Amino acid sequence: MLSSLNEQQLETLAAASARRNFPKGRTIVAEGEPSQSLYILLSGRAKVQRSDSEGKEVILAVLGSGDFFGEMSLIDDAPRSASVITLESCDFMSINKDSFKAILMQNSEVSLAIMRGLVKRLREADKKIETLALLDVYGRVARVLLDFSENVDGERIVKNKLPRQEIAKMIGASREMVSRVMKGLEIDGYIVPLPEGRLMLREKISSYIG
Ligand code: CMP
């Protein structure tokens, strides 16, 4: 995104940005608040979350290094659409809203990169709607596990510990229900627990998502 900027734009951006580190559990942007900045996640993971008036929470996405956030209220000047909370220690680049907006107006490559990010999010949101509307709880858990897994020497491994509570918030189920489903998947040999909270997924788990 930044490679298309000319020297003057890069200088403007450098003057308007700051690198910051936040520990685990820190709210970087809060739902409903006015926006000041756009953020790029340089390292670590953070969750995008909304909550209702009773404090019930839903996780919309988990962001990783290279992802940006805070662009929505930057574009429409509405309050923050969701909260972004660190899941581990994270490094960010924060960029002042007005400076970034000025660059966005001048540089179509940067605008296009932001649009690509928004389209990616819409595709993921479509997939999530499909999951919630069409799959049962086993299917929803299976989809989360597959989405968070990576190929390690030919095996599908979930490397980062995924607390049951966090899975529950992603799929609109209770923690108890997720625990029951995970136990069932383990007994039936769909998932195999590994040391340090990692999980190995057997190929047959895909049968739950059709
Ligand atoms: P903003 O509304 O400024 O602040 C909250 C940010 O969360 C938002 O911008 C997006 O960057 C991000 N966000 C909101 N909804 C989603 C989603 N469904 N998937 C990924 N990121 C999102």
CB within 8 Å of 58: residues ≥ 6 apart: 49, 50, 51, 169, 170, 172
Q: What is the pLDDT of residues 100-157, one digit of tens each?
A: 888 888 888 888 888 988 999 999 999 999 999 999 999 999 999 999 999 999 999 9
pTM (2 d.p.): 0.89
What is the DSSP code (8-state) at residue 208? Answer: G
Using only the alpha carbons of the chain, give its radius of gyration.
19
> How many A from CA of 11 to the centre of ligand 1?
27
Per-residue pLDDT at 1: 65
- Residue 184, phi then psi, degrees to nearest 5: -60, -45
Mean pLDDT over the full length of the chain: 92
Residue 21 β-bridge partners: 91
CB within 8 Å of 108: residues ≥ 6 apart: none
Ligand 1 pocket mutation, candidates 49, 81, 129, criterion most atoms within 8 A of CB: 81
Section 60-80 average pLDDT: 93
> How many A from CA of 69 to the centre of ligand 1?
6
Give the nearest ligand 1 atom to 81 CA: 2
Q: What is the pLDDT of residues 149-182, one digit of tens each?
A: 999 999 999 998 899 999 999 999 999 999 999 9
Ligand 1 neighbours (beta carbon < 6 A): 29, 35, 48, 60-61, 69-73, 80-82, 84, 121, 125
The answer to whether 39 touches 70, Cβ cutoff 8 Å, is: yes
Predicted confidence band at 7 (pLDDT cuts at 50, 70, 90)?
confident
Ligand 1 pocket mutation, candidates 36, 60, 101, criterion most atoms within 8 A of CB: 60
Q: What is the pLDDT of residues 47-56, one digit of tens each?
A: 999 999 998 9
How many percent of the chain have pLDDT more than 70?
99
- Top mean pLDDT of 15-19, 95-99, 183-187 is at 183-187
Are β-strands 90-96 and 150-152 bridged in parallel, bridged antiparallel, or unpaired? unpaired
- Residue 120, phi then psi, degrees to nearest 5: -60, -45
